[in-house]
Amino acid sequence: MAATEDQIPPEKIETESDAVKPEEEEEEDDEHDSKERVLQRYFLQEWNLVKSLLDDIVSNGRVVVPSSVQKIQSIMDKYQEQGQLVEPYLESIVSPLMQIIRSKASELDTRSHEILEIIKPICIIIYTLVTVCGYKSVIKFFPHQVSDLELAVLLLEKCHTTASVSSLRQESTGEMEAKCVTLLWLSILVLVPFDISSVDTSIVEDKSFGVGDIAPLVLKILGFCKDYLCSSGPMRRISGLLLSKLLTRPDMGKAFASFIEWTDEVLSSEEDSVVNHFRLLGVMEALAAIFKTASRKVLLDVLPTVLNNVTVLSKSNAATRSPLLRKYLIKLTQRIGLVCLPHRLPSWRYVARTASLSENISTGPTQRLAPDHTGAAVSQPEGPDDLEDEDMDVPEILEEIIEMLLSGLRDTDTVVRWSAAKGIGRVSSRLTSVLSEEVLSSVLELFSPGEGDGSWHGGCLALAELARRGLLLPRSFPQVVPIIVKALHYDVRRGPHSVGSHVRDAAAYVCWAFGRAYYHKDMKNVLDQLAPDLLIVGSFDREVNCRRAAAAAFQENVGRQGNYPHGIDIVNIADYFSLSSRVNSYLQVAVSIAQYEGYLYPFVDELLYNKICHWDKSLRELAAKALAALVKYEPEYFVNYVLEKLIPCTLSTDLCMRHGATLAAGEVVLALHQCGYVLSAETHKRIAGIVPAIEKARLYRGKGGEIMRLAVSRFIECISSSHVTLSERTERILLDTLTVNLGHPNSQIQNAAVSAVQQLVQSYLIGNDKKAADLISKHLKHLTDPNVAVRRGSALALGVFPYELLIAKWNDVILKLCSACMIEANPEDRDAEARMNAVKGLTSVCETLTQRKASHPENDDLSLFILIKTEVMDTLLKALDDYSVDNRGDVGSWVREAAIHGLEKCTYILCKKAGDRTNDSSSLFDSNLANRLIGGIVKQGVEKMDKLRETAAKALQRILYHETVTVPYIPYREKLEEIIPNQEGLRWAVPTFSFPRFIQLLGFPCYSKGVMSGLVISAGGLQKSLKEASFSALLQYLGEGEANEQRTRESAMCDDILWILQEYKKCDRVIVPCLKTIEELLDEKMFQNQEAYTLSFYKGVVDSLAIELRASKIFAKLEAGVVILAYIASVSEPISKQAFSQLLSFLAHRYPKIREKAAEEACLALVRNKTLVTEDKIERVKDVITTPCWEAGMELTQSQKLELCELAGLEHGVVFRTRTRAVTSTMMASDENASYSALVDSSGF
């Protein structure tokens, strides 16, 4: 249906053209006068490049630069879907290239291999054009002189005998393309209007050639084509085309008979091989092409043989396995049927009158709806030929042919059904009206309830073909239209899904064909029947292609059938783009269409009976919302009819039905309330009893319990918003239901329950202090429940409670939520989602309490705001340090993200209050809090997660530029505003954008430590792109400015790094990337000067490494530490000896790779710093270190370690004391860490 949607009715075209202004008409005429300019501007935009490449090829007579072929190919491939744009250029491309091939082919006898290498790349270009524009457009420009026939055969012979070398190459060498182009060239040349034997020069020398013999040239062509019919490539199809042109010549009778005999042998063969399978496909394709081209008189002689072969082959295993073979069998069968019947235009065929826009406009609605003229333009006037048609002799085999075509309509593959449908239409066009009616009856039998979806699809395609050809008469509409309506709604459940979208699409195609084929007076009643169903499918179908197909069919009928009520308005609403979104189709398009007369009730029935019980959960939810959106048009109908149908269905045994009915009932009740409709007391009672009835029936258990909980939560939310009257018992049941749902582990159920609790409490519990206090106490108790799901739900529920419930225990609520935000002491109780929900709940509680207090200043006191400053802000700042990790990754990032939003909102609360009063409240937000706030958020802005960086940057942007609240005391605010401008669409998630900006904050002491602690995690992480962006930004920052300024920045960075090493001692999350960052900085020759801060930095790093690397099993940490120690050992005294001593201690490490790495780095340190060992001993030390023994067991290196200590002047007990104990203990424990596998296991690989 895709091609049909772009069709524009003639009426539309006329209307639009009439509306064009004269000036625009002149511009269009001027533009169309210059065809070449228009084509170059809109179509082949790369023509200049293509032309220059072609000119180079033509001038040289060959392809000089091989890449030019690939360039032309890549340009042409862009026009695969719109080849007509290239067609104006075909002559200027194809003709000169074919002339080169023609001229080179004449030299084949002397140097064939060289000539073929010239021809092949040119053939690649021509074949590319064939794939883009089709062979029919291209071969028009092939040379077709009589003398070219032998040249082409010679060229094909050379190509055919050349061994293929392209099977294992990614790029084509041109062999296949050369064969295809030559075959296409021959398909033109064999049409020469002379006897081919008179063209064949080899006959002159052959004395044995007889009058009736087949010319050697023809035999060659036949031989090549038979070989190519076994191919799996495009040569098979083109050789079939060539055979159809060659063998249907008048002088090819003997060759034709010979070929038919060969095909009989092939089709009768029982060989089961891949080659034979492709040979079968090629023979069937060639026969189909021949039966399309040859004269009926020639084909009648061979028809029984071919039909017998087709019948036998269609029942074989080969046909069962191959859809393509079945397609060719159906295609050949229908053409055999066409040969059996004489070509005639049936007099009984429906011929519609040409509609005109003026007639449609002048025809008023009353005239259009007149009941007469039902049979107008049904058929041509009866004449003498009608009797001839009725007395036509029908061959006996035709019944078998039609039966095969009908069975093809039931095939499992669409391509076979489509071919069979076209065959039914073509054969029926040559039958009498009586026989055609019998064919129609057989087609209609495909729609019986026992048939599968394939039969329905094939039947729809056949009906569309009959309608397009005028073979489906209007008198058959009463039989056909009800079937089409059923097909438009065909949807059969198959396990967890359904089938039928292809049937619905094909049914829409039938409706489209009706609109094009019939006169509007004959379609008057049919369109009235089809329009609602087409719009139902267009609005409510699950599949986008079906929605668009139905809308296209409706548009076609509106455009061609005249003044249909509101037709143009509906077409404008339900267009191609508006139907692309299912949500938009349900809630916008359908609701807009329902306002017109005749569509509301069908829409409601479709939603009520088919969509709220659909197998797709999302579709049921949409159907419920769509029903609610339609309530506004007729509330009384929804109360008396829709609700009466829905309420019993909420207890249905079918899960889909009760889920959809529960959702729909709630949505309809809410919509009625919003419309101002007052429900009766009895209706209130029935609605209130739905949830208790579901509880009593235990419908939350078993399969589907979760989605029922979702539906019930939404239902409670809707009836609470509608203020449905509830008894005290019902209130308790609803509250208990929501409490259970709040503790469900499914987050969707929790969120739905939170929304429902908010409405329920707001509508029924405000004013009841005892119930409110009990509810608050229950959820406060649940915040410490061992069940993490209960903690999650209660934290969210507390956040949505209204002011009236919270005010009684606001202090306890805030403190309990603050406690729930902290990481649990017991590792088994830790849950990131619970802490995230607690942060969100805490933020919401603060907002709720402060907003009401702001609106009632007479009850104002500062205790709440002081608590927010002292407890809440401190809790949220601590939440920024939640880096919890589990098997899902960095789950603490959820808490940190929620904390950023919470800090922002609480900042506004405090600053707004501080701005209202100048005495006591002025201290609510001070410089210390501002420093901690901005520093904490900035730290998140330079860490490794893109989403968090973006969240932090946007939060800072809002804080800096808030329209109503000014946040004071922000340090270096001007610099922050320069770094974070007030602009939309900044790409903060892109590392190369955000890091160069935030890195500038390293120059400010109040921010530098936070920025550096976040930066080292990014710069020392595993993600390559993030690592490169962050580290390059750091280097750029350190390299800017004068030498003194660079030293100042380097000194400040050293202090920050040492602070990180102390602050995050033994915290591998920070220490490992920090050590990696130090290693990278040392690689970049940083810290090379001998300033005091450098030596202090070295000493601090060495002291930290002594602590961090002791007993560590993290390979990355150990490796980075060894490299850093080697660098520090390379500098001068006094720190180098200590670093070298620590470095040597790793020669006794448990991991062989670390021992080897330490030996390698120690050797480098000795090369860089010759003061570590006395000059007379340095060579011996190098020899010992480079001895290839460090990967062996540690007991084998004992002598080397003792000798090293003696040579370096170090005490063995001092250097290796911790390692010796570790070695002794591990050796006593079967030496489990002596192997490399221990390193792999401990490193987490």
Q: Which of 478-482, 1075-1079, 1081-1085 has the lowest mean pLDDT?
A: 1081-1085
**Measuring CA to CA, which residue among 1046, 1226, 1078 is closest to residue 1148?**
1226
Mean pLDDT for the stretch of residues 1051-1057: 91
> What's the confidence (pLDDT) of residue 857?
53
Token readout for 501 is 């979208």
Which residues on neighbouring strands pair with residue 499, listed in sequence order?
Answer: 492
Sorted by sequence, the CB contacts under 8 Å of residue 523 that are 6+ apart come out as: 514, 515, 557, 561
> What's the confidence (pLDDT) of residue 946?
92
Mean pLDDT for the stretch of residues 861-867: 86
User: Rounded distance, CA 245 to CA 238, Å?
Assistant: 11
Which helix (H) or strand (E) segment is 498 a member of?
strand 497-499
> What's the confidence (pLDDT) of residue 1195?
61
Q: Which of 75-89, 446-460, 545-559 has the lowest mean pLDDT?
A: 75-89
Residue 443 predicted with pLDDT over 90: yes
Long-range contacts of 38-44 (CB under 8 A, 24+ apart): 39/85, 39/88, 39/89, 42/85, 43/85, 43/86, 43/88, 44/79, 44/85, 44/86, 44/88, 44/89
Cα angle 1003, 1006, 1011; round to 5: 65
Sorted by sequence, the CB contacts under 8 Å of residue 1137 that are 6+ apart come out as: 1172
Mean pLDDT for the stretch of residues 1175-1181: 70
> What's the confidence (pLDDT) of residue 59?
92
Residue 733 predicted with pLDDT over 60: yes
Q: Which of 452-461, 756-765, 767-776, 1054-1063 has the lowest mean pLDDT?
A: 767-776
The band of 32, judged by pLDDT with boundaries at 50, 70 and 90, is very low
Place of tokens 């986008």: 544
Distances in whole angstroms, Cα of residue 819 to Cα of each of 58, 836, 875, 878, 891 = 83, 12, 8, 11, 19
Q: Which amino acid is at 197?
A: S
Residue 233 predicted with pLDDT over 80: yes
The band of 99, judged by pLDDT with boundaries at 50, 70 and 90, is very high
Which helix (H) or strand (E) segment is 789 a member of?
helix 788-800
Residue 819 predicted with pLDDT over 60: yes
CB 504 within 8 A of CB 477: no
Residue 553 predicted with pLDDT over 70: yes
Distances in whole angstroms, Cα of residue 1127 to Cα of each of 283, 1105, 1167, 1201 = 77, 13, 11, 21
pTM listed for this prediction: 0.81
Most confident of 858-872, 1000-1014, 1141-1155: 1000-1014
Q: Which of 261-270, 530-539, 614-623, 1081-1090 has the lowest mean pLDDT?
A: 1081-1090
The band of 722, judged by pLDDT with boundaries at 50, 70 and 90, is very high
Distances in whole angstroms, Cα of residue 500 to Cα of each of 421, 503, 618, 741 = 18, 5, 18, 37
Helices (H), 518-616: 524-540, 544-561, 567-573, 582-584, 590-593, 600-606
CB 625 within 8 A of CB 662: no
Average pLDDT of the chain is 84
User: Rounded distance, CA 264 to CA 271, Å?
Assistant: 14
> What's the confidence (pLDDT) of residue 236?
92
Torsion-angle region of residue 1230: left (phi > 0), alpha (psi -120 to 50) or beta? Answer: left
> What's the confidence (pLDDT) of residue 444?
95
Place of tokens 């602070």: 1059
Token readout for 895 is 């808490």
Place of tokens 């048009």: 633
Residue 921 predicted with pLDDT over 60: no
How is residue 623 annotated by DSSP?
A: H
Q: Which amino acid is at 407?
A: S
The band of 1245, judged by pLDDT with boundaries at 50, 70 and 90, is very low
Q: Which amino acid is at 191?
A: L
CB 705 within 8 A of CB 733: no
User: Rounded distance, CA 915 to CA 912, Å?
Assistant: 5
Long-range contacts of 1080-1084 (CB under 8 A, 24+ apart): 1080/1019, 1080/1020, 1080/1031, 1082/1123, 1082/1124, 1082/1127, 1084/1035
334-367 pLDDT, tens per residue?
Answer: 999 999 888 877 788 888 765 555 555 555 443 4
Sorted by sequence, the CB contacts under 8 Å of residue 906 that are 6+ apart come out as: 843, 846, 868, 872, 873, 876
Token readout for 333 is 């069968």
Residue 390 predicted with pLDDT over 60: no
> What's the confidence (pLDDT) of residue 1082?
87
| 567 against 84, higher pLDDT | 567
Within 13 A of 606's CA, how many CA atoms are on the CB side? 30
- Phi first, then psi, for residue 492 (nearest 5°) are -110, 125
Sorted by sequence, the CB contacts under 8 Å of residue 591 that are 6+ apart come out as: 626, 629, 630
Helices (H), 34-147: 35-42, 47-60, 67-77, 90-105, 112-133, 135-138
User: Rounded distance, CA 934 to CA 260, Å?
Assistant: 88
Mean pLDDT for the stretch of residues 387-404: 76
> In the chain, what are the helix, strand and coil shares in percent, each to the nearest 5?
70, 0, 30
Q: Which of 233-247, 872-886, 915-929 has the lowest mean pLDDT?
A: 915-929
Distances in whole angstroms, Cα of residue 263 to Cα of each of 226, 258, 267, 336, 446 = 10, 9, 6, 16, 34
The band of 1188, judged by pLDDT with boundaries at 50, 70 and 90, is low
User: Rounded distance, CA 407 to CA 429, Å?
Assistant: 19
The band of 1, judged by pLDDT with boundaries at 50, 70 and 90, is very low
CB 806 within 8 A of CB 845: yes
**Measuring CA to CA, which residue among 404, 244, 257 is closest to residue 340?**
404
User: Rounded distance, CA 949 to CA 910, Å?
Assistant: 25
Share of the chain above pLDDT 90, in %: 55
102-148 pLDDT, tens per residue?
Answer: 998 888 777 788 888 899 999 999 999 999 999 999 999 999 898 88
> What's the confidence (pLDDT) of residue 543?
95
The band of 1240, judged by pLDDT with boundaries at 50, 70 and 90, is very low
**Measuring CA to CA, which residue among 128, 13, 1079 is closest to residue 559?**
13
The band of 673, judged by pLDDT with boundaries at 50, 70 and 90, is very high
Distances in whole angstroms, Cα of residue 272 to Cα of each of 226, 232, 277 = 18, 16, 7
Cα angle 7, 10, 13; round to 5: 90
SS3 state at 469: coil
User: Rounded distance, CA 699 to CA 142, Å?
Assistant: 75
Place of tokens 């692309």: 580
SS3 state at 1231: coil
CB 693 within 8 A of CB 658: no
Helices (H), 134-246: 135-138, 148-161, 175-189, 196-199, 202-205, 216-228, 235-246
Residue 785 predicted with pLDDT over 80: yes
CB 510 within 8 A of CB 460: yes
CB 159 within 8 A of CB 116: yes
How is residue 857 annotated by DSSP?
A: G
Q: Which amino acid is at 143?
A: P
Place of tokens 């009819």: 641
Distances in whole angstroms, Cα of residue 1114 to Cα of each of 604, 673, 1017, 1240 = 65, 64, 16, 10
